Structure 1
């Protein structure tokens, strides 16, 4: 392992080694702390991105920055749009693929492992559907569950081709969106067909706003179910293959050993950052040049052009963010501060659902009814406060319990036996 040079100071203790092959949930002492740290950062990015859509209808997704944002709200909205949106779901997807690789390394590829993994995905699918209907229709867990099953089906493919196949699958879908935007921009008569749908989409958005901003819980729940079926599920044709591609990249990264020891891999991650961050920045700049707000289907061509370029940018930028985090974990100055995020990463499922509970209670009409009353700057401040509380709560909780509440339930459903919850029970 590479030592820290130049000062003679003692290097921080090494991160835990790769989990052993024992069956059952991974003990905290055998977890790869780097994964938990990255997961904690990704959790923050996901919340920064998602909170906007507790105060805007899902029908507006893809149209860019809210045109009503001005001053500090617009500056913050621009920063989240450029640096966060689309990048952190990719980062989280890389981690999902890494989790698959950890589980398959510990459980092998036989019927027992496949049965456990099928139960794991089935439980996640149930969590996602319930989350979408009861809290927020923009759920991504259901997509992860389905794409996870597709990943299992591809596990027999030579793992040396996984990074190329994964990157190619993601890029192919992004290029498909880009090509569609170019075609609609070049053929005004084709764009007119999409523009005819604009009034219908606008009506759906107005109905969603009325139900979520002013309706009671039952009305909001009916609207969430409608949006889940009418917006979220329709996007699966694009989202599933993209997520699958990123899962394959993540699984390859974990199996390559790059995530085991950040200090030993600093050179590799520095080279990865040097390639991915400039490439992603150029693609994102091209997307911004096309535009940052579009009138929905009335501007379908340029909207798809901008979104396609942003999708192409998101994968290299997410890999660049991962590289920067791994480089930080490989230094004395940043390893310990970043390690504070690891407990939140260990409770990512619990916190993801808790974020939706907090946001829906604050913004929806059956709660505090703040829909449309908190600008983007205020939303980001709220995210930072809630996330800080989640990090503190994670430290308190995991000092007493082995898993977060939802992680405990997920493991119970996956392995078929109830794991001990309290730390002292596990030690005894």
Structure 2
């Protein structure tokens, strides 16, 4: 056997961690990433045309085909595709980690740089383009995922699956526990009493908002004054009711003022004033980042990790039964659950009853995960059939340039809607918005393919990789 001297060993080059060549990429991930971008755009376009501060609230002014489109998007798109994109993120993380182990290179410092760069890109996106960015949340959750991989106690993939599913179930368990307590404590007469009280307050608030709230606000001020002068004063039921009405009116007015402020910021023709608003709005959005990252994104990332280490996604042809079951269960249970939950949430009674709203939102939360799983299973099953491969492969280049295409959505849509560009904010309703989505997706499919026939990466992917690897990446093929 040939012996290698110490001097010879010192000149043997250390394997370098480099971006994946085209032939080493997992095509299913690129296709899924491209399709997820379509769903994200279908969801996001509404919030370039409406105030993001009311994110998740249904537009009750819609009628006719606009209402139908809005309802369908909320039922079949909202909350589903960013979860699918998160799953792909976890898959991509696992692919990169396994490749780093293959070439014998450290992974942690490299991935931290990758996430820090993504965080900076996300924050810049929020400040200079659009306040609804999700990249910064993926970056924070990615760092948490790295910590989990570093300190996990076992290499058993089954343990990953159990952990992820239990993690995702925590909010559902908590809400179910609270609901069980309410169900046991409140009998029919108590529910009737609560409902009547909620209905009375809702009716009074609506009447006061339509007329003049000064009288009831003055009453509330008088009650507060009396309460401060005598700490042991016991309020009557009528006084409590008046305070509740006044506080509800204050909250409604504050929300309307916030919406009006955001609308004004994006309807005016000054880019810098709009940017100033986004900068102030940044703090509000960042408050939700830890919750979103820990409760939603990290467990989904772990599920994606599990799909790769078990080779279910990298060798999906061998796991057709698994994805077929995923599609059947996800779609057959997820669709009725989403339909039922949206019908409950959008019913006028849910706007009055906290219980009804809570039930509807919980069912919607569960339905989002099931339908996301159904979509994943459906696409993978389709990819296992040759007649569908050509159709879905058109989304692969779009998925390879996901970061560039995602940011381009913001460039295009702010150019259409915001006052400092196209000035169509609040002017284009839901149905016509779908034509804009169609045009963007078709253009990005062709442009992405054209670009990748000439260059190795999309422009933003090149920047991301260059900063991550701390050297300029070769662009041309």
**Same topology, TM > 0.5:** yes
Greater shift, 303-312 or 383-392, is seen at: 303-312
2:49 equivalent in structure 1: 55
Name the stretch that deviates more: 289-298 or 232-241: 289-298
The answer to whether 1:161 aligns with 2:159 is: yes
Which residue of the partner structure matches residue 11 of structure 1?
A: none
Matched, 1:100 2:106: no
2: CA distance, partners of 1:265 / 1:164? 19
Alpha carbons 1:178, 1:304 under 8 Å: kept: no
The equivalent position to 1:33 in structure 2, one of 20, 27, 30, is 27
Match of 2:304 among 250, 254, 257: 250
CA apart distance, 1:199: 2.2
- Whether the aligned pair in 2 keeps the contact of 1:62 and 1:303 (CA below 8 Å) is no
Following the alignment from structure 1 to structure 2, what is the Cα–Cα distance between the partners of residues 227 and 293?
31
In structure 2, the CA distance between the partners of 1:161 and 1:198, relative to structure 1 (3 Å rule), is farther
1:239 equivalent among 292, 309, 314:
292
Is the 8 Å Cα contact of residues 342 and 360 (structure 2) preserved in structure 1?
Answer: yes
Partner SS state of residue 197, structure 1: helix
- 1:319 paired with 2:313, answer no
What is the aligned counterpart of 1:172 among 170, 173, 177? 170
Worse-superposed segment, 128-137 or 216-225 = 216-225
| In structure 1, C-alpha distance between the alignment counterparts of 2:347 and 2:276, rounded to whole Å | 29
Go from structure 1 to structure 2 and tell me whether the alpha carbon gap of 1:227 and 1:292 turns closer, same or farther (over 3 Å shift): farther
List gaps (5 residues or longer) in structure 2: 1-14, 199-239
Q: Deviation per CA, 1:131-180, whole angstroms, max 9, x where unpaired?
A: 00111101000000000000011113234322222222223235556778
Q: State which structure, 1 or 2, has the greater radius of gyration over its C-alpha atoms.
A: 2
TM-score (norm 1): 0.87
Judge conservation of contact 1:195–1:297 (CA < 8 Å) in 2: no
Distance 1:379 1:174 in 2: 34
| Partner Cα separation in structure 1 for residue 475 and residue 283 of structure 2 | 36
1:387 matched to 2:441: yes
- CA separation in 1, counterparts of 2:380 and 2:313? 8
Paired position in structure 1 for 2:318: 264
Question: What does the per-residue CA deviation read over 1:284-338, in whole Å, with 9 as the maximum and x for residues that have no partner?
Answer: 1331232237799977654444333212111121111011100111101101111
CA RMSD, Structure 1 to Structure 2 (Å): 2.8
Q: Summarize the Cα distance change of 1:354–1:259 in structure 2 as closer, same or farther, 3 Å threshold.
A: same
1:74 equivalenced with 2:127 (yes/no) = no
Give, in angstroms, the shift of residue 107 of structure 1: 1.2
Is it true that 1:23 corresponds to 2:17 in the alignment? yes
Unpaired runs of at least 5, structure 1 = 1-20, 424-428
TM-score (norm 2): 0.78
Q: Distance in 1 between matches of 2:348 and 2:461?
A: 40
